[in-house]
Chain A
Amino acid sequence: MAEKLNAADVGAEKHILVMRDITKDYLVGEETSHVLKGVNLTVDKGEFLAILGPSGSGKSTLMNIIGCLDVPTGGDYLLSGRRIADQSETSLAHIRNKEIGFVFQQFQLLQKQTARDNVELPLIYANVPEKKRKERVEEVLEKVGLADRIDYYPGQLSGGQQQRVAIARAIAVNPTILLADEPTGALDQKTGAQVMKIFEDLNSEGRTIIMITHDRHIAVHAKRIVRILDGNLVEGDESFA
């Protein structure tokens, strides 16, 4: 068994995300399916990383593990110096709240709540006082250019606008990593480009972004690209076929 990682070893100050030999097995019927076969990944503060891979490559599984929605079968994962395997359900919830800002392909906004209420949600879970929450909601919606849509319901917004609300929600608590899963997957090319522009701006302000995509044209917006194929991670995008 490999030695456990600890924060001092990996230099958690700089490397906010360190993965060592991460494996994930699923039991499908009687057979074990090895979805991740020993992933090693280090992400530094301020990086804009794209994880590129076709469907079935295990990229969604990797994203769930990065986002602490799922736990790996083997290997070590340190996020901001904390071993994820050691965390309880409740502290995983706290880590998701404070460390990760999710942006989903299908936006995942609550349809019965306004843009304001949607963006406010992670702030409520972070126990931010009401007055500060209000200020912060306005601030982040302003940042994605939707200050004038604050009281709109998702149904009253276009796809691009909905995804911008989702981005505002993702950055509301100022998380360590912005984790985006096919953020432009449900958008047309033009609005997709707008969303990527927002990501680039956020990154240039120093925000760490990890983006999972199957689309090379989207991946090129990132500063660094890793490929995932059959559960293995490879640096660079040259030999992607």
Chain B
Amino acid sequence: MFGTTMVRQSFKMSVQNIKSNKMRSFLTMLGIVIGVAAVIALITIVQSVTDKVMGQFSDLGAGTMSVEASGSAMKKGLTESDIAAIAAVDGIDGVSPSVSATTSVVYDGEIYKKVSVKGYNATYFDHNNIIASGRGFTEQDMSGSSMVCIVDSTFIKNILYGKEVLGQTVRIKGIDYTVVGVKKDADSIMDSYSDTSELDGSVIVPYKNSLSMAGAQNVTSLDVYLADNADSSTVEKRLRSEMNNIYNNADNSFYIINMESLLSSMNQIKGMMSGMLGGIASIALLVGGIGIMNMMLVSVSERTKEIGLRKALGAEPARIQAQFLIESIVLSVIGGLIGVGFGLIIAYIGSVLLKATFTISVGAIALGLGFSLIVGVVFGWAPARRASRLNPIDALRSD
């Protein structure tokens, strides 16, 4: 019905109007700016942080399951033959026991009481790239004859300070171990939570050696590595039936954590959080919209005479309505653009503070702009309609 000329004219007029009421327009836009900035900042920050956490989860857990086997009354933990049986399940590439203990270490005549000990097998090092220098364990180490260990940087700093690390001998629970490797520093959130700084360090030994340190007979925790292209839910079923077999279907004898299903539930939580924060920010947008409506109503009553003149000159009601609607949209979309700018700045600062990677979420920007557009239409509608329905004579007469 109305061509581009009409839109251009309306656009020009709304910019004129916004300019000639700078303070009022600014205050009106502020509501939209804050609303959109909040939407963008919150969504972007949530996304950056959850992306980071989930990235680490999937680094850690892509193609991994973990089994906690407390066992039944008849049978505690997993024996070596059980572990071998699990490793033989179709779709499983390998398994590594995971044993944790805290023990004391003697080095150079000094006793360090709080050292975290982890026990793994050689397979663990095939699937986890954690060696900074030296080497991981080999199958030979696993036979039990070689007493080797891998230490972390805290261990080096507190215990082996200033020494050439590889080849040193440390005494753990009365047995001498040779240091063969150095573990990479933890850079993931998961590891930094488990490595408490109160400890003097952490050391990895072959899992059989660690069992006695943990005061256990059998392995109770197992990392399971899936073969490439194996379907995690299928493998989980097979694993479950093997475990039931081992424990004679005893209730609550074990549980399996499937990293993949964990990831999908984290994804759900992320979606819920984004939605919730977005919802809260939308309230700010709603308030901004009411501000726009207020300004447009004031604008309509201020320009009653102009509207009357335009009608006398032949402007149809629909055209008057479109003009004011465009004005409202221009106002709120300009606010939206400024809001996107501020939102991204806040999100950037936030992600720097949270040490997360700053990713510009195109979805959030589209959402912010889309929201401000909708706000402009919804809250501009009533004032525009009022303008279009003004009686030209009354409008012309008003002063």
**What residues of chain A have their CB less than 8 Å away from a CB belonging to chain B?**
64, 67, 69-70, 89-90, 93-94, 96-98, 102, 104, 108, 110, 112, 121-122, 124-127, 130, 169, 173
On chain A, the residues within 8 Å of B6 by CB distance are 124
Q: Is the CB–CB distance between B314 and A108 below 8 Å? A: no
Q: Is the CB–CB distance between B313 and A89 below 8 Å? A: no
Q: Is the CB–CB distance between A96 and B314 below 8 Å? A: yes
- Most chain B beta-carbon neighbours within 10 Å: one of A67, A96, A169: A96
User: Given A69-B396, A90-B318, A93-B317, are A124 and B9 neighbors across the interface (CB < 8 Å)?
Assistant: yes
User: Given A124-B9, A127-B3, are A97 and B393 neighbors across the interface (CB < 8 Å)?
Assistant: no
For this complex, 24 residue pairs linking A to B, each with C-beta atoms less than 8 Å apart, are: A64-B393, A67-B312, A69-B392, A69-B393, A89-B317, A90-B316, A93-B311, A94-B316, A96-B313, A96-B314, A97-B313, A102-B312, A102-B313, A104-B396, A108-B305, A110-B306, A112-B16, A121-B310, A122-B313, A122-B314, A124-B6, A124-B9, A125-B313, A126-B314
Encoded as 1 (CB less than 8 Å from any A CB) or 0, chain B from 363 to 399 comes to 0000000000000000000000000000011001000
Q: Is the CB–CB distance between B393 and A70 below 8 Å? A: yes
Task: Supply 6 further A-B pairs (C-beta < 8 A) apart from A102-B313, A110-B306, A125-B319.
Answer: A69-B311, A93-B317, A93-B319, A98-B314, A124-B9, A125-B316
Q: Is the CB–CB distance between A97 and B306 below 8 Å? A: no
- Most chain B beta-carbon neighbours within 10 Å: one of A104, A125, A169: A125
On chain A, the residues within 8 Å of B305 by CB distance are 108
Complex CA gap A127/B20 in Å reads 28
Interface check B214, CB cutoff 8 A: no
Q: How far is the CB of A192 from chain B (nearest CB, A)?
A: 22
Interface residues of B in 297-331 (CB under 8 A from A): 305-306, 309-319
Complex CA gap A173/B314 in Å reads 10
Contact of A110 among B309, B311, B316, B318 (CB under 8 A): B309
Q: How far is the CB of B316 from chain A (nearest CB, A)?
A: 4
Complex CA gap A124/B322 in Å reads 14
Q: How far is the CB of A168 from chain B (nearest CB, A)?
A: 13
Q: How far is the CB of A63 from chain B (nearest CB, A)?
A: 10
On chain B, the residues within 8 Å of A94 by CB distance are 314, 316
On chain A, the residues within 8 Å of B318 by CB distance are 90
Q: How far is the CB of B291 from chain A (nearest CB, A)?
A: 24
* Main secondary structure on A side of the interface with B: helix
Interface size counted on chain B using CB atoms at 8 A: 22
Complex CA gap A89/B391 in Å reads 10
Q: Is the CB–CB distance between A90 and B317 below 8 Å? A: yes
Q: Is the CB–CB distance between A125 and B314 below 8 Å? A: yes
Complex CA gap A69/B390 in Å reads 11
Contact of B313 among A70, A90, A121, A127 (CB under 8 A): A121
The residue on B at minimum CB distance from A108 is B309
Complex CA gap A63/B66 in Å reads 90
On chain A, the residues within 8 Å of B316 by CB distance are 89-90, 93-94, 125
On chain A, the residues within 8 Å of B311 by CB distance are 69, 93, 96
On chain A, the residues within 8 Å of B306 by CB distance are 110
Q: Is the CB–CB distance between A97 and B314 below 8 Å? A: yes
Interface check B194, CB cutoff 8 A: no
Interface check B5, CB cutoff 8 A: yes
On chain A, the residues within 8 Å of B317 by CB distance are 89-90, 93
Interface residues of B in 166-224 (CB under 8 A from A): none
Encoded as 1 (CB less than 8 Å from any A CB) or 0, chain B from 1 to 38 comes to 00101100100000010001000000000000000000
On chain B, the residues within 8 Å of A93 by CB distance are 311, 314-317, 319
Q: How far is the CB of B84 from chain A (nearest CB, A)?
A: 85
Contact of A69 among B3, B16, B20, B312 (CB under 8 A): B312
Pairs of residues from A and B, 10 with the lowest C-beta to C-beta distance, nearest first: A97-B314, A125-B314, A93-B316, A122-B313, A69-B392, A90-B316, A69-B393, A108-B309, A96-B314, A64-B393
The residue on B at minimum CB distance from A104 is B396
Q: Is the CB–CB distance between A96 and B3 below 8 Å? A: no
On chain B, the residues within 8 Å of A89 by CB distance are 316-317
Q: Is the CB–CB distance between B393 and A112 below 8 Å? A: no
The residue on B at minimum CB distance from A172 is B313
Q: How far is the CB of A123 from chain B (nearest CB, A)?
A: 10
